[in-house]
Chain A
């Protein structure tokens, strides 16, 4: 037998530029192609038959298609940081120096030791992994199996390329620029509509661009040239090539992914386009379906439409002796084209009983055999196709009557055409299996979508599946290596829902998302279950239609641009001073200012000590600040706090707790009255936005009759908190018209005036337990005051302090930190504020919930203090408590009776202290309890009533 030539480039034909050559490599070997080639056409032109090893059985596989549906030729492109895994070879334009590698197979696709898996394939049925690799656990095997399965490799480094996200608004979005799409675009453009025309291919026209047909009685190429010229003349038409529509979302928002030609890639590699369209035309064409028979996966077997495209578009013959197997009219033209190109035809088989006489006669007059009622039942060959066994079907198509073997090196199959309706289904359009065409067809209309071109047509087909053979060798999903036998097994094990069949067999779950397997699966499952395929429903078609680079969705919002960092007014000073910065509520906040060679812990202890003995200065500018103006301001705010605000006098401040309607603690802060109709409240830094929204929601939705205006002013004011026994002395050294005398400006008072000539609002509130002035000046003046205060504090022991010191000082005072000591179950009584809440007569948000039985149980978690109980070895006693450690009361039947919420070392005494939420805690003051870490008792603690320092509050009232 003459040695088969296999796939090869023909001496003429196609739309490639034969005057220029492009060098590229595949698996380390260098090949030549031409401009206009794709990686798959160039590989076929070079006679490369095997491009991959299959996923489970490591069987050799060749190029199967010429489009997005490709299940075999998924290649690793490039190397290093720009390497792209699982690129679909038919979608990759050939470029100079392109490097492609096969993804599966070791050491390579031509000789793969994993092939042994195929000889034991009966062991590797669907569900095999789940049933077998379970001892001791799946993860023991996962790495080995994943390596064997050989998916592509994603680069480990950051993506060096840039991506853009663009928002587009238009009247009409047309997906698919085949002839139908171009016609719709021209019509819409003439009506003055803003049109976006998106085409996956680099060229417009679809098949008409290369199939030599005529349109409106002129050659298609002429028609396309004219149409394209007309399109570009319309300024409101935007034509996007290399652009795939990947998702259809609510309200006709469609996501497009545009590839940028590598020669024009000075800006972005890809663009993610979010289109808001009033109307959408889907002219997305069809995806050809395969036929099912034994060994239907050999290299050389491919879709008939792909064979036609390789021939007419790229001048590539898929074999030197080609057999065509079809169940519809479409493949007959391929036979004629191949014959004209000088390729030998082994014949055309058609599964249909009756085929149009003119089709048959047309081929027979050319000397091509046409076998009707015939279907391939098996193929032979190893790394390349040698022959195909063709059977004549019985009249009921359930049996075979006669067999013949036809020698060939390529088999072009056509099992019908599935309209590309992924976007239609994602938009909520309903699909159902249509017996005549053997694929899913639309059964409803969609208010915004028009289907156009071949996507709107049903091509009648004959049988698609061989009635005989070994179902273990009949591939349904080439990419996931799933067979008809896997479908049978799923049904035997009672996975009858089509969604369960999909998940058990993984048919349709690979990167190609079942584009050539979903319809076939419905047909096979229908036959096996003996019910109409239309009654099976279908698996859900989810975005993306084709794979999307994650970087494209992120666009430029990566790295520093992922989320904005919020800088405090004194940020530059903190950085210059070497502060340790951490993010809290989006703000970069100093946690400590370590000196040279000082640890973070030593730094914050020094800072805390400075506050207790001299003074500390904290940048508290992130403190949430909200103003409420209006005659009803006091009445309005009184509804939010458990505290009575109606008696709050101008110039006074009051600490308050805010609840959600469920009675759960939401936020705390101070409310100050600047005047009876001008109040100012502070919130915790992380809740500033939420509290503002909360006030707005209640005002707008529930109490619009209250006359108030709410303004968020956090960013407008710098907040400098000066705390410590020397605070007053230091402040007095600045030029000021404030009277800081204790009786003129007591604790919980507010004064307004000028400080260093700056307008200032100063409150006396304290989170440290020391004499504290919280000084607010316009944000841009913050740094000036900051440096002036530090200078005034020279000689008075003033230190800048960070959050670590602040948190330790407040712990020592037993002051609550909402969100640290409290959680989503905490009500005011749990943290010692029950009497205040119950003493308020007016209603407030959450008040009614506090009376619910659950919220008055005596065994609720309550906030208590813990001190260390000295053990025999004194060193153990000095070990700090662990935040999160669990507590158990003596003789407790419970696994846990609470946990430590805040822990530290007391600034002055050096003793371990903690705040904890303890079951019925306030009834246990004086009790010694066990502290557990990871289930092990690690310490003894005494339950005490906080604070741990200055219980009379004399220092902060000073």
Chain B
């Protein structure tokens, strides 16, 4: 069970959260080509490394936020509020 630091509430247990997949995925404009669109729909990186992802504290404050998690250790390096830029690799 992960212990996730919600930027609004503090550290809480994983069952209080919903995982929302990779963050900082940009929605392409509607006039993009099929390949760009389907890549946006289906292709995701799956790094054995630091992964930027979003979570919702669904059984808490209800807020979505972003986080950086090392997929090898599940260590959560940081969490930050929506709209903020991802941490530089050196910070994470």
Q: Chain A residues in contact with chain B, CB under 8 A?
A: 249-253, 274, 276, 428, 661-662, 693, 696-697, 700-702, 704, 843, 847-849, 851-853
Contact = CB atoms under 8 A, between A and B. Distances in A.
Contact of A843 (B20, B30, B83): B30
Interface in B1-55: 1-3, 13, 18, 20, 23, 27-28, 30, 32, 34, 37-38, 41, 54
B62 interface: yes
Given A428-B73, A661-B41, 6 more contacts: A250-B1, A251-B76, A274-B1, A700-B63, A848-B37, A852-B37
Given A428-B73, A843-B30, A847-B30, A697 B1 contact: no
Contact of B64 (A253, A661, A696, A852): A696
A852 B34 contact: yes
Nearest to A428: B73
A539 to B, nearest CB: 20
Nearest to A842: B30
B62 A696 contact: yes
Nearest to A660: B41
- Interface range for B: 20 to 34
Contacts of B2: 250-251
A693 B37 contact: no
18 contacts: A250-B1, A250-B2, A251-B74, A251-B76, A253-B1, A274-B1, A428-B73, A661-B41, A662-B41, A697-B64, A700-B64, A700-B82, A701-B20, A701-B23, A704-B83, A848-B37, A852-B37, A853-B34
A547 to B, nearest CB: 21
B11 to A, nearest CB: 9
B1 A249 contact: yes
Closest 4 CB pairs of A and B: A251-B3, A700-B64, A250-B74, A253-B1
Contacts of A249: 1
A843 B30 CA distance: 7
A847 B20 CA distance: 21
B46 to A, nearest CB: 18
A693 B74 contact: no
Nearest to B42: A662
A852 B38 contact: yes
B37 A253 contact: no
Contacts of B78: none
A19 to B, nearest CB: 48
B78 to A, nearest CB: 15
B41 A849 contact: yes
B41 A693 contact: no
A348 B34 CA distance: 79
A250 B75 CA distance: 8
A702 B40 CA distance: 14
B73 A697 contact: no
A701 B82 CA distance: 6
Contacts of A274: 1
Contacts of B30: 843, 847-848
Contact of A253 (B3, B20, B63): B3
A847 B56 CA distance: 26
A562 to B, nearest CB: 16
A843 B73 CA distance: 40
A938 B82 CA distance: 57
A336 to B, nearest CB: 48
Contact of A701 (B13, B58, B64, B74): B64
Contacts of A843: 30
A709 to B, nearest CB: 12
B52 to A, nearest CB: 13
Contacts of A253: 1, 3
Contacts of B1: 249-251, 253, 274
A696 B65 CA distance: 12
A701 B83 CA distance: 8
A848 B28 CA distance: 10
Interface in B65-92: 73-74, 76, 82-83
A527 B6 CA distance: 52
B79 to A, nearest CB: 13
A190 to B, nearest CB: 26
A249 B34 CA distance: 42
Contacts of B38: 852
Contacts of B41: 661-662, 849
Contacts of A700: 56, 63-64, 82
Nearest to A276: B3
Contacts of A661: 41
A433 B55 CA distance: 40
B54 A701 contact: yes
B51 to A, nearest CB: 14
A849 B63 CA distance: 28
A701 B64 CA distance: 7
A276 B1 CA distance: 10
Nearest to A845: B27
Contacts of A428: 73
Contacts of A250: 1-3, 74
A848 B54 contact: no
Given A849-B41, A852-B38, A704 B82 contact: yes
A249 B15 CA distance: 14
A730 to B, nearest CB: 41
A702 B27 contact: yes
Given A693-B18, A696-B62, A849 B37 contact: yes
A274 B58 CA distance: 21
Contacts of A848: 28, 30, 32, 37
B7 to A, nearest CB: 12
Nearest to B76: A251
B32 A697 contact: no
A662 B42 CA distance: 9
Contacts of B64: 696-697, 700-701
A697 B20 contact: yes
A157 B13 CA distance: 34
Nearest to B74: A250
A555 B91 CA distance: 42
Nearest to B58: A693
A853 B38 CA distance: 11
Contacts of A853: 34
B13 to A, nearest CB: 8
B27 A697 contact: no
Contacts of A252: 3
A852 B34 CA distance: 7
A274 B15 CA distance: 13
Nearest to B83: A704
A540 to B, nearest CB: 15
Contacts of A851: 34
Contacts of B18: 693
A842 to B, nearest CB: 10
A250 B63 CA distance: 23
A640 to B, nearest CB: 14
A843 B27 CA distance: 12
A843 B2 CA distance: 38
Contacts of B34: 851-853
A130 to B, nearest CB: 34
A704 B66 CA distance: 14
A701 B54 CA distance: 9
A662 B40 CA distance: 10
A464 B18 CA distance: 51
A697 B56 contact: yes
Nearest to A255: B1
Contacts of B27: 702
Nearest to A249: B1
A588 B40 CA distance: 40
A662 B41 CA distance: 7
A848 B34 CA distance: 9
A249 B41 CA distance: 32
Contacts of A693: 18, 56, 58
Nearest to B75: A251
Contacts of A852: 34, 37-38
A851 B35 CA distance: 12
Q: Which of B3, B38, B54, B64 has the most CB of A within 10 A?
A: B64
B3 to A, nearest CB: 4
